[in-house]
């Protein structure tokens, strides 16, 4: 069975700092990769996704992620965070021909103003 690992459970940083959240998955086949975000009191929203092509994908709100197939990783980055980026971030993986998502445990990010 596939699994997804997010390296940090909690991250605290100041505004303007850079953010990188790690995500590794275990599945040898072709996958689709996602980062979802849940802001306080809101629903899960898609930040970005990778299906194929350029392994560096750009999402909303200045986020980007890089798919490194050899490392089974899909790390999320943002060069300069804002207080409004305070949220919980989830990495998710889906077999390319499948439907169900396998999630990592989530990372709570707190950005201090």
Gyration radius from the chain CA atoms: 13
Q: Which of 63, 39, 49 is nearest to 93 (CA)?
A: 49
Q: Is 99 in the site for another protein (CB under 8 A)?
A: yes
Structure tokens given for 94: 């889906």
Q: Is 79 in the site for another protein (CB under 8 A)?
A: no
Taking the complex as a whole, the smallest distance from the CB of residue 51 to another protein amounts, in Å, to: 5
Taking the complex as a whole, the smallest distance from the CB of residue 107 to another protein amounts, in Å, to: 11
Give the binding-site size for another protein (rule: CB under 8 A): 24
Strands (E), 7-106: 10-14, 19-21, 23-26, 31-38, 45-50, 56-58, 64-68, 73-78, 87-95, 102-103
Candidates 43, 53, 54, 70; binder of another protein (CB under 8 A) is 43
- CB closer to another protein out of 42 and 70: 42
Candidates 2, 8, 32, 86; binder of another protein (CB under 8 A) is 32
52/87 Cα distance (integer angstroms): 27
Q: Which stretch binds another protein (CB under 8 A): 19-27, 28-36, 63-71, 77-85?
A: 28-36
């Amino acid at each position: 069975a596939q699994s997804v690992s997010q390296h940090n459970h909690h991250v605290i940083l100041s505004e303007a700092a850079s953010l990188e959240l790690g995500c590794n998955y275990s599945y040898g086949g072709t996958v689709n990769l996602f980062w979802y975000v849940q802001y306080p009191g809101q629903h899960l929203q898609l930040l970005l996704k990778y299906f194929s092509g350029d392994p560096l994908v750009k999402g909303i709100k200045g986020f980007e992620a890089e798919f490194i197939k050899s490392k089974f990783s899909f790390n999320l980055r943002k060069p300069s965070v804002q207080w409004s980026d305070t949220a919980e971030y989830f990495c998710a993986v889906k077999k390319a021909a499948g439907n169900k998502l396998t999630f990592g445990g989530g990372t709570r990010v707190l950005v201090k103003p």
